[in-house]
Amino acid sequence: MKKRRGLGLSLENMMDVKNTDVRNIPLDDIEPSPYQPRQIFSEEEINTLAQSIQKHGLLQPIVVRRKGDKFEIIAGERRYRALQKLGKKIAPVIVVNVSDKEAMALAIIENIERKDLTLWEVASSIKKLKDDMGLTLEEIATMLGKSKSHISNILRMFQLSDNVLQLVKKYPNKLTLSHIKLLLEIKQPQWQITLAEKVVSEGLSTRQLEEEVNTIKYIQDGKLPETQDKENKTAKKDETVDRLRKLAKKYIPMKSTVRRVKNGYKLIISVDDEETAEKLIDYLKNWTK
């Protein structure tokens, strides 16, 4: 029985050693990989690489595999783009024999090793490996050199509302995995979006976001954030009142106040007329969506 090729292998030892000679093929015969995880290519980086190639030549061949009458890039799309920019007609390549599953795996590994992908790009690639290629979390974790729990946490990102996911994609340096784990504690999409926008606009740290999440969780289910120091319990409650009042003023579109009572807190919303009442009804309907 033929031994199954492992998925945790490097680019070099996945190659068929009989096909590692460098060949020169027309650049027009090369196509980008559909498995390329990188969605944004820096024009500045491509220009810098093109200048280096113009001066020193292409120091590392592009790695490709045969796909019909063409050759599909496994590793080296930036080199391919730089050669295009220089108007080159021929590209030095190494042709390897790998499956679709291995091609996707190698595209991810090559990009992660050379330059970090954004969280969105990594998550999208892992989702493809799982959904399209049928890999298990254990296989993906081994392939990327990460723990299974880390891979699982990244995939949980797709439980967020679509609007929040778009923010994660647009602002990769502001919404981190730690922020996302906190946002997932909030079930209502409306609040997820509000808090995610606040992280982006105000640059909230994970600790600051955690405070807001704890406050909103209290509003949702009446559960107070845990206090670690009993001596500071009263002061902590007063701080909670202040946070609740600020949040109520910011997020509730009518007059409201918060008071501390014997067994917790009371949120009072003032409804002075029919118009305000209808406004409150619409607000509460949206709250439950």
Which residues are designated catalytic?
Answer: 77
Cα 86 to chain centroid distance, Å, stands at: 33
**Beta strand segments in the chain, E:** 22-26, 30-31, 62-67, 70-75, 90-95, 256-261, 264-269
Give me the count of residues in the chain: 289
Amino acid making up residue 207: R
Going 7 to 12 to 18 to 24, the CA torsion angle's sign is positive
**What is the SS3 assignment for 70?**
strand
Whole-angstrom CA distances from 88 to 29, 31, 49, 202, 247 are 12, 15, 14, 46, 59
Query: What is the pairing mode between strands 30-31 and 70-75?
Result: parallel
Cα–Cα dist 17/12, whole Å = 9
Apex CA 188: angle with CA 182 and CA 191, to 5°?
A: 65
Burial 239-249 (b: 16+ CB within 10 A, else e): ebeebbeebbe
